[in-house]
Amino acid sequence: MEKAIDSFIDYLHQEKKTSKNTEMSYKRDLKKVQAFMAGQGVFDVQKMSETNLNSYILYLEKNQFSAATISRNIASLKAFYHYLFREGMVKKDITEKLKAPRIEKKMPGILSTADVVKLLEQPSGNGLKEIRDKAMLELLYATGIRVTELIELKKNDVNLTMGFVICRDLSKERVIPFGNEARSALLKYLEEARPSMIRDEACDFLFANCSGQPMSRQGFWKIVKYYAGKAGITEDITPHTLRHSFAAHLIENGADLRSVQEMLGHSDISTTQIYVGLNHNKIREVYAKAHPRG
């Protein structure tokens, strides 16, 4: 099964031009399937049956994996077997009858404007790390880009004069503006911190960790947690919370949905629509508190 998985991941990389994170996610899911099947005495994809797959899904359910995790595993299996069947590596696609569990769509957590301001004010010193952290937090909230996009930004992706960043993936690119606060923080970082933090002059990554290497997702997650604690924010926030807050605050202040969709990079406007729901919820809360017969 291992060779089949490697062949599938190679296909994703070479033909579908998927991102490294996507490939890692597929491989992680399929390796878990491989380990489970080995425990069942099944080592060849051609020997796997619908019963084997149903046993695996039942195993995930019994071990209380979330509906989202089970759904993602099923999606990985379907993509894997669609590839195997198309390439003639199996005689039948045994995932056709697998159905993903219903996932309850949760409203994303957002910060109030006041809490965002408190968070962004925390890195206020002139040390290299604080200057960098300030620039990263300001840029993330100013643009709403994904954390992966933030840490993968190159120096040339930022236009300080015009005030925008360019985010690229394998099929398209989008231009997202940012304001004066983010511009000032970035300018200070580029002039006072980055030259000392980047040890390899050939490195074109915008942000670096304390070792001079590109910042990791985990590293930035810790940065957000640290400053949230300093700001006294009790909500459990992640870098994605700032992306949600960016979108919700724009719509709350009158931004049109299509523009927010474009800035966020959503392919389907229904994904962006959830932030309108958040705004409606806030209006209802204000009404309930303020109206004499609320």
Alpha-carbon dihedral sign for residues 261, 262, 266, 268: positive
- Report the phi/psi class of residue 232: left, alpha or beta, with left for phi > 0 and alpha for psi in -120 to 50: left
Domain ranges of the chain: 2-86, 113-289
Q: What is the pLDDT of residue 164?
A: 93
Q: What is the domain class of 113-289 according to CATH?
A: mainly alpha
The Cα–Cα gap between 118 and 141 comes to: 13
State the 10-residue block means of pLDDT for the chain, 294 residues long: 92 86 90 93 91 91 86 91 92 87 66 93 94 96 92 93 86 87 96 89 86 88 94 88 90 84 81 67 48 46
The Cα–Cα gap between 61 and 277 comes to: 31
The Cα–Cα gap between 189 and 195 comes to: 9
Q: What is the pLDDT of residue 293?
A: 47
Which contacts of 214-219 are long-range, i.e. CB under 8 A and separated by 24 or more positions? 214/151, 214/152, 215/136, 215/151, 216/151, 217/147, 217/148, 217/151
The Cα–Cα gap between 95 and 201 comes to: 49
Q: What is the pLDDT of residue 185?
A: 96
Q: What is the pLDDT of residue 279?
A: 54
Which residues are paired to 176 by β-bridges?
Answer: 165
The Cα–Cα gap between 34 and 290 comes to: 57
Query: Does the model's pTM come out above 0.85?
Result: no
Q: What is the domain class of 2-86 according to CATH?
A: mainly alpha
CA 42 to chain centre: 34
53-63 burial, b at 16+ Cβ within 10 Å, e below that, comes to: beebbeebeee
Q: Which residues contact 269 (CB under 8 A, 6 or more apart)?
A: 257, 258, 261
Which contacts of 17-23 are long-range, i.e. CB under 8 A and separated by 24 or more positions? 17/170, 17/171, 18/170, 19/148, 19/169, 19/170, 21/148
The Cα–Cα gap between 67 and 129 comes to: 39
